[in-house]
């Protein structure tokens, strides 16, 4: 339920520590990520699930675990709707 991975047709580039750009090759669309989105993307591509990403966010910023988890899930859903990530069928994250 909380396991996603980046789609193979999406490439990312870190502009700096706080900004990233995603390119969906098939759709030929760019997406800009702010500091929070960049952190979530980085953890997602390292194989972390929503729960682990939320824990990391509570360590990085002054946010409760519940609020962090809600934010992560909402962001991942947005990425899914844009076809930038896909759910994993076996419940494991990673690419």
Write the DSSP string, 33-57: E-HHHHHHHHHHHTT--HHHHHHHH
Residue 45 has pLDDT above 50, yes or no: yes
Q: Are 79 and 5 in contact (CB under 8 A)?
A: no
pLDDT band for position 95 (cuts 50, 70, 90): very low
Q: What's the predicted TM-score (pTM) here?
A: 0.87
Match domain 4-85 to its CATH number in 3.30.420, 1.20.120, 1.10.10, 3.90.930.
3.90.930
Domain ranges of the chain: 4-85
Q: pLDDT per residue over 3-19, tens digit each? A: 899 999 999 999 998 99
């Amino acid at each position: 339920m909380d396991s996603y991975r980046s789609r193979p047709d999406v490439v990312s580039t870190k502009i700096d520590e706080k900004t990233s750009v995603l390119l969906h090759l098939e759709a030929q669309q760019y997406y800009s990520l702010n500091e929070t989105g960049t952190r979530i993307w980085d953890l997602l591509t390292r194989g972390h699930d929503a729960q682990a990403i939320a824990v990391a966010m509570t360590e990085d910023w002054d946010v409760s675990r519940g609020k962090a988890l809600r934010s992560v899930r909402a962001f991942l859903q947005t990425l899914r709707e844009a076809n930038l990530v896909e759910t994993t069928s076996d419940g494991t994250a990673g690419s």
